[in-house]
Amino acid sequence: MAKAHKISGVKPLGSYRENARIILPEKVEEVYTWEPFVRDAARREELHNMRISIKRLRYTMELFRVVYEFPEECSKDAVAADDKRFAEFFAIIVDLQEILGDIHDCDVVLQVLTDYTCQSASDAVVLGSLSATGKAGIDRLIDQTRETRKADYKKFLEKWDQLSAVDFKRKLLSFFLT
Amino acid sequence: MVAEARIAAVSPDETLEACARKIIVRYFHQMMSYKDGVRVGRDIEFVHDMRVTSRRLRAAMDNFADCFPKKPFRRHYKKVKAITRTMGAVRDLDVLINRFQKTLDNLPETEQTDIQKLIVHLQREREEARKPMLTLFTKLEETGFETQFLEFFVGKV
């Protein structure tokens, strides 16, 4: 797992609000460092790292939500609008995290099933009890999981393309900075 | 998933340092509140909740690191990281066991046996994975981790 990027320019004695504008954009940039790899379904490690970066962004958004619930411009309408927009951005981030989580779960399951098959085969050779039917259930699960992974990845890519088409990154950064 | 802890006591106009202390302490208390349930080991949700909260705590610590003296901060951070890591091994197995149990009904009987064997194998691995986690809990208690952590981030217990 890739380490969280070091955040520069944090001001411990500055306001929480001021620091939200420093920290949140850095978390967004961390997510987008993985963007060059999203079109390759085989980049399991990079997709996993993107999921972790998105999770970090999500948790950081939770931390700073209060800043957007009580914006500096305190008209009732402005407060409601900021809160609503925050909730919309947040829902998208959670959605991305969950889709990438599903992909990662499939990768883990496939790894476990493959390892287990290899281990069972080598144990069976030692014990002289290798049986073709002994792994039919495992083989079926491997096939099912591969199909699920393919569908999850397609769903992720469609979502990512939709977001890119509406300039999601710029809008998110602009929201955090205003 | 464990509900996001709302940071109600934080005001956007307070200093980052003051907010950081409150948030870190709040997440820390929440994380430790699951420890006894994790130790018992019957309900897998305790492991999940403690792990997720440890991740939220780490995210806060990553963001607020500059508010604290580097060396003691790193020491506490490493321990929280060790908690996440040892719990991760158990949680991953819980998820797998749960997932494979759900697939059983959709398979022919002969193939169910294969998956049941796999589940038994994973349950044994889970028991092994719990050991380093429980050892870590004991070690943290013996070395006064909780008190030291709170002394550092609150200034008093």
Report the predicted TM-score, pTM, of the whole model to 2 decimal places: 0.90
Q: In this complex, which of A10, A65, A135 lies closest to B16 when CB atoms are compared? A: A10
Å from A40 to nearest chain B CA? 25
- When the pLDDT of each residue in chain B is averaged and rounded to a whole number, the result is 92
Residues in chain B with CB shorter than 8 Å from the CB of A18 are: 16
The answer for residues whose C-beta is within 8 angstroms of residue A151's C-beta and 6 or more apart is none
Quick check: A52 pLDDT over 70?
yes
> Could you tell me which of A111, A99, A92 has the C-alpha nearest to residue A50?
A99
Range of the domain at A60: 16-177
Q: What is the mean pLDDT of chain A?
A: 90
Considering the domain boundaries, does residue A3 fall inside one? no
Which residues in chain B are closer than 8 Å to A134, comparing Cβ atoms? 114
Q: How confident is the model at residue A129 (pLDDT cuts 50, 70, 90)?
A: very low
Cβ contact (<8 Å) for A137 and B115? yes
Name the phi and psi angles at B68, rounded to 5: -130, 155
pLDDT for res A6: 87
Q: Give mean pLDDT, residues A3-13.
A: 91
Number of domains in chain A: 1
Q: What percent of chain A has pLDDT over 70?
A: 88
A2 within domain boundaries? no
Asked if pLDDT for residue A134 goes beyond 70, the answer is: no
How high is the pLDDT of residue A128? 47
- For residue B7, pLDDT over 70 is answered with no
Residues of A with a Cβ under 8 Å from any B Cβ are 4, 7, 10-20, 23, 55-56, 59-60, 62-63, 65-67, 70, 105, 108-109, 112-113, 116, 133-138, 140-141, 144
Question: Which residues of chain B lie closer than 8 angstroms to A135, CB-CB?
Answer: 114
Domain membership of residue A6 (yes or no) is no
What percent of chain B is predicted at pLDDT more than 70?
94
pLDDT 10s digits, A10-31: 999 999 999 999 999 999 999 9
- Within a domain: residue A133? yes
Non-local (6+) Cβ contacts of A115 within 8 A are: none
Q: Is the pLDDT of residue A80 over 90?
A: no
Residue type, A48: H
* HSE (side-chain half, CA atoms, 13 Å) at A1: 12
Residue A40 has phi, psi (to 5 degrees) of: -110, 105
Q: What is the mean pLDDT of residues B132-154?
A: 96
Q: How far is CA A117 from the centre of its chain?
A: 29
What is the C-alpha separation between A148 and B6, in angstroms, rounded? 35
The verdict on residue A10 lying in a domain is no
What is the per-residue DSSP string for chain A? -PPPPPP----TTSBHHHHHHHHHHHHHHHHHTTGGGTT-TT-HHHHHHHHHHHHHHHHHHHHHHHHHHS-SS--HHHHHHHHHHHHHHHHHHHHHHHHHHHHHHHHHHHHHHHHHHHHHHHHHHHHT---GGGGHHHHHHHHHHHHHHHHHHHHHHHHHHHHHHTTHHHHHHHHHH-
More confident residue, A53 or A118: A53
In a domain, A4, yes or no: no
Query: For chain B, which domains are there?
Result: 16-154 (1.40.20.10)
For residue B97, give both structure tokens: 């066991």
Of the candidates A23, A67, A136, the beta carbon closest to that of B114 is on A136
Report yes or no on A49 lying in a domain: yes
Q: What is the 3-state secondary structure (H, E, C) of B8-66?
A: CCCCCCCEHHHHHHHHHHHHHHHHHCCHHHHHHCCCHHHHHHHHHHHHHHHHHHHHHHH
The pLDDT assigned to A74 comes to 63
Residue of B29, B6, B3, B22 lying closest to B64 (CA atoms): B22
Lowest-confidence pick of A103-117, A157-171, B22-36, B97-111: B97-111
